[in-house]
Amino acid sequence: MKALLSLAAGSLPYTDPEPACQLAWQALDIPTWPQLPRRSFLENMYVQFSERFPGVVVANERIYVDRDQDLDPDLERLYVAYLQNDLDYAAISPEYAAGLYRFLASNPGHSSWIKGQVTGPVSWGLVVSDQNRRPVLYDDLLAEALAKHLRLKASWQERELRRLAPQTILFVDEPYMSSFGSAFVALDREPVLALMEEVLAGIEGLKGVHCCGNTDWSLLLSTTIDILSLDAYNYAETLALYPDEVGAFLHRGGMIAWGIVPAGEQAMGETVEGLVERFHAALGLLEAKGFHRDDLLAAALMMPSCGCGSLKVETAERVMALTAGVAKALQERYG
């Protein structure tokens, strides 16, 4: 893949999928299908990938797993689908992803790359609880089932996206990895890696992880991802704390998606020129650890710091325009 291409995290604040898809196709080098959480609670990033998970209940704008149900029949169906790699079992319904279905139907055919995203097992498992408000991730049986469930969802999505372009990128979105290692989340490294690797193993194209906060980057860099996506507008200095892990990741061909454009109201006061300088400053933090700028540029992609689903429409459009502008400016500067 060429460096310095633009892509996005996913969510946009539209309720109509048509303008959301138009923006995704027109603004980005690597079009990204839009999640539309304002359109429906079903497009919330945790609900969107919940269909057919054993015991899941979506009601009154709440999602939870009813552990009082007999989950054995649903668990058996999930494991049979997993063992048979039955991707149709994992299909996302149109009412859960209007942006995806409109995206699939509106292909202008100008890109050889397409990007999608799926919520990661750590974040889903911490946000979604059982009927007693115990996070699913702390139930060993459900956590294992969740990783297999999300693996199938990722594989199904990738198959659908390949109708648009031969080369796919799928990000596993893990915002709650920013809580890893804190006193509030009791998670060990090895189980987290196992859950993430289960999902990543279902992705045949390029696979990435997106975390929009500070985290233990050494953990994410030690997975089999091809792309690490981070909020470089706010947390670029934290990545430089792991020079050995970053070096090993780049050496094996990994790329960094620099979320240098703030996905918030700050974007209204930013310029392409200012963000290009901010990107160079972020590179400088790694250059100070011995990295060469040419190597960093050859492994760089450009994107917003996070999704834009909670923003005003005009702010989200500004974020996307800045992302496209920064990528174009860097492409022109470095060829």
- Would you list the domain boundaries of the chain? 17-334
How far is CA 37 from its chain centroid? 15
Residue (of 263, 258, 224, 222) closest to 238 by Cα position: 258
The H-assigned helical ranges of the chain are 17-27, 72-84, 98-105, 121-127, 140-161, 189-200, 217-221, 232-239, 243-251, 272-287, 293-298, 313-334
pLDDT at 107 over 90: no
pLDDT at 208 over 90: yes
Q: Return the pLDDT at 183.
A: 58
- Phi–psi pair at 118, nearest 5 degrees: -140, 145
178 vs 44: which has the higher pLDDT? 44
pLDDT in tens, 59-75: 999 999 999 999 999 99
Residue 228: DSSP 8-state: E
Residue (of 40, 32, 103) closest to 320 by Cα position: 32
β-bridge partners, 62: 59
pLDDT in tens, 159-192: 999 999 999 999 999 999 987 766 567 788 899 9
Q: What is the pTM of this model?
A: 0.96
Name the pLDDT band for 335 (thresholds 50, 70, 90): confident
Residue (of 152, 203, 132) closest to 50 by Cα position: 152
Residues 6 or more apart from 220 whose CB is under 8 A from it? 174, 177, 209, 211, 228
Q: Domain 17-334 falls in which CATH fold?
A: TIM Barrel (3.20.20)
**Averaged confidence pLDDT in the chain:** 95
Secondary structure string (H, E, C) spanning 133-185: CCEHHHCHHHHHHHHHHHHHHHHHHHHHHCCCCCEEEEEEECHHHHHCCCCCC
Q: Return the pLDDT at 106.
A: 86
